[in-house]
């Protein structure tokens, strides 16, 4: 092999792009030609240095969840657009008419200023609820036993959610998962009422008032012992409140 | 493909390459905040165009979206082609003894030299050396023929060696 034909092969050789016979032929030339061998050493060292020393930047820890939130919201909005027109309008009409203020204990002043933040959280809750129903995202820990579900959250959250089962009352616990809401991991407890899924999100209180119906889904929100609870389902408000009452007492 | 299948497949094939996407965006923008914003934008675009993804190489496909998103942004900012050496130099910390020592380390020299490369060489070097893409994958991701991948890689390396030797 002549230097003229060897030189263009040096980098593909370093990059592992030569087949075995080409590589062997080039190596023979490098063994005999100090100038090409020097060029090979120089380029090889640069490649080694880059791989070993140049920073490989890694994505911030929460970037994945931020992206998944936005992507699933986009999937959700394209779904709403794709819905039959009348159905979509009904959904929005329900959302528009059932915007009630919840929980009497909340400070009225705070309520106003934090309403916007609460609305954003409600949208996230709806997205998480919808996302949980597609594919197999619903359960990280499928179990009807509260004593399995509760310890599963240990080490996955910095708080311990209260896990209760109401199978006897017709609201059967089917498991739980960790979800993301308002930029933090939260517990999602999952129940079934007939064919309806209820997601109960539990997270430490931050006093953002959340509307109680969005996009046709009903939300029931309450606070207890410094924790925020939000149950969401396509189940009607009355039965969902019945579930909330069971949980609270 | 229905919506749930699409989201699930996207999560399996595209989302796992987040670090590669961020690394490329970080090197192309040279700062963390713009990289985060652009990676998010790229993922939204990728999801929108996901129906056009025929299976195959998810990493190369995602990086092509990230690259296009970043280059469009750089183009709007007006520094797509030439990197202003002056601006970069003035952003350096004062040349006291300690920082001079740190800056003289090989890692810093490498980073500075890669950052100073024109973006069309920089992206190829990052894809090859840090993301370990093959020539064919780079050709897909950058939308250029393999011959062009090789010549840009070669020129980029030549410039890097000159830059490193100047700093030594």
The predicted complex's ipTM stands at: 0.84
Tens digit of each residue's pLDDT (9 = 90 or more) over A132-157: 776 666 788 888 888 888 888 887 78
For residue A58, is it within any domain? no
**Are B40 and A72 in contact (CB < 8 Å)?**
no
The angle subtended at Cα B66 by Cα B83 and Cα B150, nearest 5°, is 65
- Region A92-108: mean pLDDT is 34
Decide if pLDDT at A240 tops 90. no
Q: What is the CATH number of the domain that holds A37?
A: 1.10.10
Tell how strand A184-193 and strand A227-233 pair up.
unpaired
For residue B129, the surrounding DSSP H or E stretch is none
For residue A203, is it within any domain? yes
3-state helix, strand, coil in chain A (%, to 5): 50, 20, 30
**Do residue A222 and residue A197 come from a single domain?**
yes
DSSP annotation of B168: -
| A28: containing domain | 3-53
**Do residue A46 and residue A73 come from a single domain?**
no
pLDDT, position B88? 42
Decide if pLDDT at B6 tops 90. no
**Are B153 and A71 in contact (CB < 8 Å)?**
no
**Do residue A228 and residue A131 come from a single domain?**
yes
**Do residue A38 and residue A78 come from a single domain?**
no
Q: For chain B, positions 1-60, list CB contacts with chain A under 8 A.
A: 3-8, 10-11, 15, 18-19, 21-23, 26-27, 32, 35-36, 39-40, 43-44, 47-48
The angle subtended at Cα B43 by Cα B42 and Cα B47, nearest 5°, is 120
**Do residue A121 and residue A216 come from a single domain?**
yes
Which residues in chain A have their CB less than 8 angstroms from residue B164's CB? 46
State the Cα–Cα distance between residues A130 and A179, nearest whole angstrom.
12
Residue A90: which residues within 8 A CB-CB, separation 6 or more?
A216
Q: Which domains, and CATH codes, for chain B?
A: 3-167 (1.20.140.160)
**Do residue A41 and residue A69 come from a single domain?**
no
Alpha carbon distance, N-terminus to C-terminus of chain A: 86
State the Cα–Cα distance between residues B81 and B72, nearest whole angstrom.
12
Count of structural domains, chain A: 2
Instruction: Tell me, letter by letter, the H, E, C secondary structure of A176-239.
Output: EEEEEECCEEEEEEEEEECCEEEEEEEEECCCCCCCCEECCEEEEEEEECCEEEEEEECCCHHH
Q: Which residue in A68, A239, A43, A8 sits closest to B164, CA to CA?
A: A43
Give the total residue count for chain B.
168
**Do residue A71 and residue A189 come from a single domain?**
yes
For residue A220, is it within any domain? yes
**Do residue A128 and residue A38 come from a single domain?**
no
For residue A82, is it within any domain? yes
Tens digit of each residue's pLDDT (9 = 90 or more) over B79-122: 544 444 433 443 444 455 655 555 458 899 999 999 999 999 99
**Do residue A117 and residue A48 come from a single domain?**
no
Best to test chain A binding among B24, B41, B48, B157 (most A CBs inside 10 Å): B157
Which residues in chain A have their CB less than 8 angstroms from residue B15's CB? 64, 67-68
**Stated pTM of the model:** 0.57
For residue A91, is it within any domain? yes
pLDDT, position B80? 45
Distances from the Cα of A185 to the Cαs of A71, A178, B149, in angstroms?
A: 17, 6, 42
**Do residue A81 and residue A152 come from a single domain?**
yes
CB B10 within 8 Å of CB B47: yes
Q: To the nearest whole percent, how much of chain A has pLDDT over 70? A: 78
Q: How large is the C-alpha radius of gyration of chain A?
A: 29
CB A191 within 8 Å of CB A217: no
Distances from the Cα of A51 to the Cαs of A18, A56, B84, B111, B117, in angstroms?
A: 20, 9, 26, 12, 17
Residue of A nearest to B41 (CA): A67
Which residues in chain A have their CB less than 8 angstroms from residue B47's CB? 71, 74-75
pLDDT, position A207? 61
- Region B19-35: mean pLDDT is 96
For residue A29, is it within any domain? yes
């Amino acid at each position: 092999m002549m230097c003229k034909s060897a030189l263009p092969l040096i980098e593909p050789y370093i990059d592992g792009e030569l087949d075995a016979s080409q590589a062997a032929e080039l190596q023979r030339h490098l063994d005999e030609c100090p100038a090409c061998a020097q060029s090979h050493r120089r380029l090889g060292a640069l490649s080694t240095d880059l791989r070993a020393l140049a920073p490989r930047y890694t994505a911030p820890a929460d970037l994945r969840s931020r992206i998944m939130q936005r992507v699933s919201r986009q999937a959700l909005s394209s779904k709403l657009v794709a819905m039959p027109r009348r159905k979509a309008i009904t959904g929005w009409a329900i959302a528009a008419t059932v915007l009630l203020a919840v929980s009497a204990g909340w400070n009225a002043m705070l309520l106003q200023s934090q309403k916007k933040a609460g609305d954003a959280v409600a949208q996230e809750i709806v997205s998480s609820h919808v996302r949980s129903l597609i594919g197999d995202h619903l359960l990280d820990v499928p179990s009807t036993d509260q004593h399995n579900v509760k310890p599963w959250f240990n080490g996955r959250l910095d708080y311990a959610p209260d896990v209760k089962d109401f199978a006897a009352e017709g609201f059967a616990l089917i498991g739980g998962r960790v979800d993301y809401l308002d930029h933090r991991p939260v517990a999602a407890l999952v129940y079934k009422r007939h064919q309806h899924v209820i997601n109960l999100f539990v997270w430490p209180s931050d006093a953002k008032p959340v509307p109680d119906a969005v996009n046709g889904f009903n939300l029931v929100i309450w606070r207890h012992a410094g924790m925020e609870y939000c149950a969401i389902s396509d189940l009607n408000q009355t039965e969902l409140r019945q579930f909330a009452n069971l949980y609270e007492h | 493909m229905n919506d749930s299948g699409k989201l699930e497949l996207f999560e399996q094939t595209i989302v796992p390459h987040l670090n590669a996407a961020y690394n490329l965006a970080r090197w192309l923008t040279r700062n963390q905040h713009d990289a985060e914003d652009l990676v998010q934008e790229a993922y939204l675009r990728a999801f929108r165009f996901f129906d056009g993804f025929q299976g195959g190489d998810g990493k190369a496909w995602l990086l092509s979206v990230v690259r296009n998103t970043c280059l469009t942004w750089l183009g709007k900012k007006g520094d797509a082609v030439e990197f202003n050496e002056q601006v970069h130099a003035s952003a350096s910390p004062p040349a006291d003894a300690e920082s001079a020592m740190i800056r003289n380390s090989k890692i810093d020299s490498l980073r500075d030299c890669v950052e100073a490369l024109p973006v069309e060489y920089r992206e190829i070097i990052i894809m090859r050396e840090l993301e370990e893409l093959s020539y064919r994958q780079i050709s897909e991701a950058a939308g250029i023929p393999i011959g062009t991948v090789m010549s840009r890689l070669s020129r980029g390396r030549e410039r890097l060696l000159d830059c490193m030797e100047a700093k030594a």
